């Protein structure tokens, strides 16, 4: 069975011509849309997570022949975490190709970070199952592009770094407070403020609480570094 026009367009953006189109169709089928004859993408997501991890581990080792495990681990985590996968998914318009149930679609599922990230991992698995590891690796390296070479030496997420900054100075962990929620239910925007025991604070605004918290933490870290 041939791919529909929207899936053909997505396959072109992905850069892989599927010999078994049903693999891509399954990779883009969210559980809210699954039926006994239309399986969802969860098993593929499980496999794709492992394929992605191996590709990134190899790429980081190849890029730095002397880095210790302690330096490689935060870089690896930064490259495979949900935020990064969702960002890559957005760059190729994955959300537009997702097959979602009506309720999930109306609640803004095409923009949800976790759904995008899981679907991208499923797509990676679909490429692997369709054409093997070398092809999957080539697709992943092309999609991640400069993210691999530009990943910071200490690439832990901003919330973790801010918490460690506070603990090193004898402070309690930062508090994250929702200041505002705006926009329709299917496309909300959250404003989150992070506060330190010593009084410093910063805000972040994004389409998910998790991303807004990260932005707030990143902004506060930058301010703390400037004043150091």
DSSP structure string for 169-180 = TTPPPPEEEEEE
* pLDDT confidence of residue 1: 61
User: What is the residue-averaged pLDDT of the chain?
Assistant: 90
On whether both 129 and 169 belong to a single domain, the answer is: no
Q: How confident is the model at residue 54 (pLDDT cuts 50, 70, 90)?
A: very high
- Whether the CB-CB separation of 205 and 215 falls below 8 Å is answered with yes
Q: How far apart are CA 35 and CA 81, in angstroms?
A: 29
The verdict on 143 and 162 lying in the same domain is no
What amino acid positions are annotated as catalytic residues? 49, 121
Q: Fill in the DSSP letter of residue 67.
A: -
Q: Are residues 130 and 206 in the same domain?
A: no
At 188 the three-state DSSP class reads: coil
Q: Which of 177, 10, 30 is nearest to 107 (CA)?
A: 30
Last residue of some domain: 116, 134, 150? Answer: 150
Among 154, 159, 163, smallest CA distance to 209 is for: 159
**Percent of the chain clearing pLDDT 70 (strictly above):** 96
Question: Which tens digits make up the pLDDT trace of 188-201?
Answer: 889 999 999 999 99
Higher pLDDT, 183 or 147: 147
Q: Has residue 145 got a pLDDT over 50?
A: yes
What secondary structure letter does DSSP report for 31?
G
Measure the CA–CA gap between 195 and 192, rounded to whole angstroms.
Answer: 10
Structural domain containing residue 206 = 158-227
Examine the fold and report which residue of 124, 150, 176 is the final residue of a domain before the chain moves on: 150
Domain count, the chain: 2
**Three-state secondary structure call for residue 196:** coil
**Interval 224-228 mean pLDDT:** 81
pLDDT exceeds 70 at position 154: no
Q: Region 117-146: what's the mean pLDDT?
A: 97
pLDDT value at position 115? 93
């Amino acid at each position: 069975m041939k791919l529909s026009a929207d899936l053909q367009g997505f396959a072109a953006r992905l850069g892989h011509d599927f010999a078994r189109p049903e693999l891509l169709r399954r990779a883009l089928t969210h559980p809210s849309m699954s039926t006994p004859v239309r399986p969802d993408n969860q098993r593929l997501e499980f496999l794709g997570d492992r394929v992605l991890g191996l590709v990134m581990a190899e790429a980081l080792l190849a890029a730095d022949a002397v880095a210790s495990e302690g330096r490689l681990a935060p870089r690896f985590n930064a490259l495979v975490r949900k935020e990064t996968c969702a960002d890559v998914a957005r760059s190729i318009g994955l959300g537009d190709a997702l097959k979602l149930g009506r309720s999930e679609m109306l609640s803004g599922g095409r923009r949800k970070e976790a759904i995008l990230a899981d679907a991208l991992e499923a797509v990676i698995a679909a490429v692997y199952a369709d054409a093997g590891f070398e092809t999957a690796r080539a697709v992943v390296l092309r999609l991640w592009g400069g993210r691999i070479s530009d990943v910071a030496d200490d690439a832990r997420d901003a919330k973790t770094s801010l918490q460690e900054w506070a603990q090193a100075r004898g402070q309690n962990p930062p508090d994250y407070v929702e200041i505002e929620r705006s926009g329709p239910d299917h496309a909300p925007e959250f404003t989150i403020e992070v506060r330190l025991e010593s009084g410093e604070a910063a805000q972040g605004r994004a389409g998910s609480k998790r991303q807004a918290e990260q932005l707030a933490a990143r902004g506060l870290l930058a301010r703390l570094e400037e004043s150091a």
